[in-house]
Amino acid sequence: MLAPDIEPRTRLERLFEAETEEFDMNCAFLSSIDLDRETERFELAYGPHGILEPGTTVPLSETYCRKTITDPEGTMAVTDAAAEGWEDDPAYDTFELGSYLGTTVSVGDELYGTLCFAGTDAREEPVSDEEKALVELHSQWVEYTLAHWDEQPFRETRLDTVEERAVSSEAIDSMMDALKNRTRRAILTTLLDTTETSIAALERRFTPEEDRIALYHVHLPKLADAGYVRWDTRTDTITEGPKFAEAEPLVRLLKEYNRGFSE
């Protein structure tokens, strides 16, 4: 999805396609905001919504994002717009979105716009702190992409915002791909608290049969191939891989946002 040899627009479109399903919302967009003109322009958009189209510019006063950019945390979530008092808001009148999860995007220490996921219907489950952390993580990747939009190939390094250490853009793409899935996040979070865990212990966390099958055939092989875990098939144990330390700061960030995510 985020392979470095794919041009930025396609990479962002694939991110939208994958994460709308993850967030149980059917729309996504990257916008630019002009504070002087008080407008918001949709640069990239995904999903079945008549107004959320690339190139469309709307008054900022009629958008959900006007509250996102003034939020102290820079991130705003709406699970059920009607139930949360948005029915009389101009944003609801204009877009009729039942759910929303958005965060700010900055380039060069200046506000660029927002990265948002939204649903034409309300969500059944409240937007979690873990999901807020994920959209903020995606925003960091978007900020990096925007900063290098016109450069090919991408620069080899960027400054990781968690520990202020240089990390290759390829490594960041790999981390994003690993962390976008809830099961893989749970596996990596488990290794924050123990140097070794067993397949049996992981299986107890994923009771549905399809989850167990995916554990063996999708998630553990993917993490092992990326170097984040070592999977000893003889003893069915999982330990930290040679690249676990690379992803650890982001895994810890997700854990801090949702204490109930780890065991």
Q: Do residues 105 and 112 lie in contact, with contact meaning Cβ atoms separated by under 8 Å?
A: yes
As a whole number of Å, the CA-based R_g of the chain is 19
* Reported confidence tier of residue 207, pLDDT bands at 50, 70, 90: low
Tens digits of residue pLDDT in 14-36: 888 888 988 999 999 999 999 99
Task: Note the pLDDT of residue 215.
Answer: 82
Residue ranges of the domains in the chain?
Answer: 8-128, 166-261
Determine how many CB atoms are found less than 10 A away from the CB of residue 160: 17
Give me the torsion for CA of 72, 74, 77, 83, rounded to 10°.
Answer: 40
Rounded to an integer, what distance in angstroms lies between the CA atom of residue 174 and that of residue 228?
Answer: 10
Looking at per-residue pLDDT, the higher value among 2 and 54 belongs to: 54
Tell the residue number behind the tokens 């905001």, with chain if given.
Answer: 33
**What angle in degrees, to the nearest 10, is found between the helix axes of 169-179 and 182-193?**
100
Tell the residue number behind the tokens 């717009």, with chain if given.
Answer: 81
CATH class held by domain 8-128: alpha beta
Q: Do residues 25 and 101 lie in contact, with contact meaning Cβ atoms separated by under 8 Å?
A: yes
Tens digits of residue pLDDT in 32-75: 999 998 999 998 899 988 888 888 889 999 999 999 999 998 99
Joined together, the tokens standing for residue 208 give 């549905």
Rounded to an integer, what distance in angstroms lies between the CA atom of residue 17 and that of residue 11?
Answer: 10
Residue of 178, 112, 116, 122 whose CA lies nearest to 144: 112
Tell the residue number behind the tokens 């102290």, with chain if given.
Answer: 72
Looking at per-residue pLDDT, the higher value among 193 and 101 belongs to: 101
Rounded to an integer, what distance in angstroms lies between the CA atom of residue 129 and that of residue 203?
Answer: 24
Tens digits of residue pLDDT in 128-145: 999 999 999 889 888 887
Joined together, the tokens standing for residue 92 give 């609801």
Rounded to an integer, what distance in angstroms lies between the CA atom of residue 77 and that of residue 116?
Answer: 10
3-state secondary structure 186-252: HHHHHHHHCCEEEHHHHHCCCCCHHHHHHHHHHHHHHHHHHCCEEEECCCCEEEECCCHHHHHHHHH
The answer, yes or no, to whether residue 5 has pLDDT greater than 90, is no
Rounded to an integer, what distance in angstroms lies between the CA atom of residue 39 and that of residue 60?
Answer: 5
CATH number of 166-261: 1.10.10.10
Tell the residue number behind the tokens 């979070």, with chain if given.
Answer: 189
Give one DSSP letter per residue of 48-74, joined into a string: S-SS--TT-EEEGGGSTHHHHTTSTTS
